[in-house]
């Protein structure tokens, strides 16, 4: 499905978001990506769904180099890739049915898209997709009246309508509570398995990754640290993967953000006596 | 915002700069006072008082006979029609140009990460710059001046008023629309784009739904202004209540002027009521 060869991304401001990633993902495979925040997982996914263009290496989709596509061909390739985001990225003011049918926008002409806003085109398709994600009664609700978990289900329904070959889920459950998180990960796993779709997921929760995916890729500092079956992912590897992360990194982020206003020197560093 | 612990190299120069600023402001005020010939005593001169008294005496009581009231129906309707047609024209100019002037839609930001080489990027700047330039010219010239020019071009009557409103307000709407559209949350747009949606799909399902309440609210506000403006433009012969006010003024029929002003006030209040109702329905 995907072949990544030395894939890297440096942003115009000089930040090296992804150093060098080489991977091969077979059609229908389920892969979880884990690693500390800032490791480059989200950048990797935005490269994989063709939102960003890599600054080095090649990315092949079914043998076709997609890093140089543009125009119609690029749109056609994007249509084959469905993405689910941490923040749902729905339009809250639209009714659920329109957010779900937006999955058709890769196929619809401008006129059809406009007409569907007045009179939804393919109500049955939208209703079926919502049924499969477990909220069949929300078809006509305004999207921003739904809970976070329900909105994530709407986002999944949109991808079902899009009917892509690959589903990318970027931290799909980081903003819902743990029970719901497990339910949504399982739902995505089962839906993808039933339709034979490739599923790649970024997960904050190692536990969910190990429990639901046959292949785990650890990413740190923009590079692949390991690429193993869950049984082989020992605690020592996880410790090395996450070393220095969590609280400490958060502290640094806060310091970096407040720098302009107070100057670093005015705040005690984490772990130092005041 | 000086923070005592962090000495800034610029701070010693600051006091002098602000003293200069205060001086400059003071000088501007004094000059303006002289150049604008501000002299409240003029209002109290015997001649001025006599004129005011003549106006007030002439205006009271306002002319309220049935003939005149019936005659007013036409200019009132005309004022409303000028404002509505002017807004339609302004929308027809402002919406497309405003979208072209939206940088996030034409050349900048996440939708254009894959836009190809530098030449294509530069080419995309062209319509954006043209749209911004056109809007800027349209709104820099006041509607009153536009009306004056259009009266010369197409003759007296409501039509030059419509044209003037459409052009001047089109410029304002376009500018504000582009700012509203650029302020929209880009993440839903990125999501649609990543799923293969084209420009029109992103606009219809991401951009416009998010921006709609702000667009509607601002457009209605402009419509309220348009009612007032269409009265003013009447003074240069562009129809409506304004033209009637001007005529009555020139004939020293101050009792008619008072009635006309009261009618204008009523009209503006009614329009504000109606637009408030629409706003509540759409924005809620």
When pLDDT is cut at 50, 70 and 90, the band that residue B45 belongs to is confident
Query: Checking DSSP bridges between strand A64-65 and strand A16-25, what pairing results, if any?
Result: unpaired
User: Which pLDDT score, from 0 to 100, does residue B117 have?
Assistant: 67
Out of A108-117, B70-79, B202-211, pick the least confident: B70-79
Query: Measured between beta carbons, which residues in chain A are less than 8 angstroms from residue B116?
Result: 70
Average pLDDT over residues B19-32: 91
Quick: pLDDT tens for A232-247: 888 778 888 887 765 4
Q: Mutation target for A interface from B1, B187, B195: give the one with most A CBs within 10 A.
A: B195
Binary contact (B205, A105; C-beta < 8 A): yes
User: Which pLDDT score, from 0 to 100, does residue A266 have?
Assistant: 37
Asked whether A36 and A221 are in contact (CB, 8 A), the reply is no
How far is B212 from chain A, CA to nearest CA, in Å? Answer: 9
Chains A and B: how many Cβ contacts under 8 Å? 106
Residue bearing tokens 């915002």: B1
Smallest Cβ–Cβ distance between A263 and the set B5, B188, B213 belongs to B5
Asked whether A22 and A41 are in contact (CB, 8 A), the reply is no
Chain B residue whose CA is closest to A95: B209
Average pLDDT over residues A48-54: 91
Note whether B204 contacts A: Cβ–Cβ < 8 A: yes
Smallest Cβ–Cβ distance between A91 and the set B196, B200, B210 belongs to B210
Residues 43-102 of B with CB under 8 A from A: none
Predicted ipTM > 0.85: no
Binary contact (A266, B6; C-beta < 8 A): yes
For A45, the 3-state DSSP assignment is helix
Query: Measured between beta carbons, which residues in chain B are less than 8 angstroms from residue A76?
Result: 196
Residue bearing tokens 């931290």: A171
User: Which pLDDT score, from 0 to 100, does residue A272 have?
Assistant: 36
The C-alpha atoms of residue B235 and residue A130 are separated, in whole angstroms, by: 60
Note whether B207 contacts A: Cβ–Cβ < 8 A: no
Give the residue numbers in A contacting B (CB under 8 Å), as ranges.
Answer: 49-53, 69-70, 74-76, 78-83, 85, 87, 89-91, 93-94, 98-99, 102-103, 105-108, 110, 113-114, 117, 155, 158-159, 162, 164, 261-263, 265-266
First to last CA, chain A: 54
Smallest Cβ–Cβ distance between B114 and the set A70, A103, A159 belongs to A70
Quick: pLDDT tens for B127-170: 899 999 999 999 999 888 898 899 889 888 888 889 999 999 99
Quick: pLDDT tens for B233-245: 888 777 788 888 8
Quick: pLDDT tens for B249-268: 888 888 888 999 999 899 98
Residue B19 in this model has a pLDDT that exceeds 60: yes
Average pLDDT over residues A8-36: 91
Query: Measured between beta carbons, which residues in chain A are less than 8 angstroms from residue B209?
Result: 91, 93-94, 98
User: Which pLDDT score, from 0 to 100, does residue A246 have?
Assistant: 58
Mean pLDDT of chain B: 85
User: Which pLDDT score, from 0 to 100, does residue A38 have?
Assistant: 84
Chain A residue whose CA is closest to B184: A91
- Which pTM was predicted? 0.78
Binary contact (A105, B213; C-beta < 8 A): no
Residues 210-239 of B with CB under 8 A from A: 210, 212-213
Q: Mutation target for A interface from B3, B4, B194: give the one with most A CBs within 10 A.
A: B194
Smallest Cβ–Cβ distance between A53 and the set B113, B195, B197 belongs to B113
Smallest Cβ–Cβ distance between A105 and the set B3, B113, B197 belongs to B197
Binary contact (A117, B196; C-beta < 8 A): no
Quick: pLDDT tens for B175-193: 999 999 999 999 999 999 9
User: Which pLDDT score, from 0 to 100, does residue B52 have?
Assistant: 85
Share of residues in chain B with pLDDT > 90 (%)? 37
Q: What are phi and psi of A198, to 5 degrees?
A: -70, 135
Query: Checking DSSP bridges between strand A16-25 and strand A30-34, what pairing results, if any?
Result: unpaired
Share of residues in chain A with pLDDT > 90 (%)? 57
Residue A273 in this model has a pLDDT that exceeds 70: no
User: Which pLDDT score, from 0 to 100, does residue A263 have?
Assistant: 35
């Amino acid at each position: 499905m995907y072949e990544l060869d030395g894939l890297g991304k440096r942003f115009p401001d000089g930040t090296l978001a992804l150093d060098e990633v080489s991977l091969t993902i077979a059609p229908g495979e389920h892969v979880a990506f884990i690693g500390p925040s800032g490791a480059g997982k989200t950048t990797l996914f935005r490269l994989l769904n063709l939102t960003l263009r890599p600054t080095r290496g090649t990315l092949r989709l079914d043998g076709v180099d997609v890093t140089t596509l543009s125009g119609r061909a690029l749109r056609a390739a994007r249509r084959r890739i469905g993405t689910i985001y941490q923040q749902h990225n729905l339009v809250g003011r639209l009714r659920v049915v329109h957010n779900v049918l937006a999955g058709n926008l890769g196929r619809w002409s401008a006129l059809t898209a406009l007409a569907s806003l007045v009179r939804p085109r393919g109500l049955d398709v939208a209703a079926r997709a919502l049924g499969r994600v477990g909220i069949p009664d929300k078809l006509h609700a305004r999207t921003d009246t739904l809970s976070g978990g329900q909105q994530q289900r709407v986002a999944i329904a949109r991808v079902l309508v899009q009917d892509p070959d690959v589903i990318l889920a970027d931290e799909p459950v980081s903003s819902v509570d743990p029970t719901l998180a497990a339910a949504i990960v399982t739902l995505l796993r089962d839906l993808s398995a039933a339709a034979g779709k490739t599923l790649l997921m970024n997960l904050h929760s190692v536990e969910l990754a190990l429990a639901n995916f046959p292949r785990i890729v650890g990413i740190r500092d923009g590079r692949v640290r390991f690429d193993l079956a869950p049984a082989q992912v020992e605690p020592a590897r996880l410790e090395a993967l996450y070393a220095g992360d969590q609280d400490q990194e958060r502290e640094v982020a806060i310091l970096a953000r407040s720098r302009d206003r107070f100057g670093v020197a005015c705040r005690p560093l984490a772990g130092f006596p005041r | 915002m000086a923070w005592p612990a962090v000495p800034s190299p610029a701070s010693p120069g600051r006091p002098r700069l602000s003293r200069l600023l205060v001086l400059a402001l003071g000088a501007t005020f004094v000059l303006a006072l002289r150049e604008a010939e501000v002299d409240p005593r003029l209002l109290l001169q015997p001649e001025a008082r006599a004129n005011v008294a003549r106006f007030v005496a002439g205006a009271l009581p306002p002319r309220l006979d049935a003939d005149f009231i019936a005659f007013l129906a036409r200019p009132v309707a005309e004022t409303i029609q000028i404002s509505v047609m002017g807004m339609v024209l302004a929308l027809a100019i402002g919406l497309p140009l405003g979208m072209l002037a939206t940088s996030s839609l034409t050349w900048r930001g996440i939708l254009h990460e894959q836009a190809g080489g530098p030449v294509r990027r530069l080419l995309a700047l062209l319509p954006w710059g043209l749209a911004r330039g056109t809007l800027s010219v349209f709104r820099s010239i006041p509607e009153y001046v536009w009306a004056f020019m259009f009266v010369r071009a197409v003759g007296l009557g409501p039509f030059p008023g419509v044209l003037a409103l459409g052009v001047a307000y089109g410029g304002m709407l376009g500018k504000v629309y582009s700012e509203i559209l650029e302020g929209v949350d880009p993440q839903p747009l990125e999501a649609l784009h990543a799923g293969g949606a084209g420009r029109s799909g992103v606009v219809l399902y991401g951009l416009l739904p998010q921006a709609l309440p702000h667009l509607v609210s601002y457009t209605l506000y402009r419509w309220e202004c348009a009612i007032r403006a269409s009265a003013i433009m009447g003074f240069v012969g562009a129809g409506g209540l304004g033209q009637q006010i001007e005529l009555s003024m020139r004939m020293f029929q101050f009792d008619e002027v008072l009635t006309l002003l009261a009618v204008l006030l009523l009209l503006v209040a009614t329009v504000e009521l109606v637009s408030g109702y629409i706003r509540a329905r759409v924005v809620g």
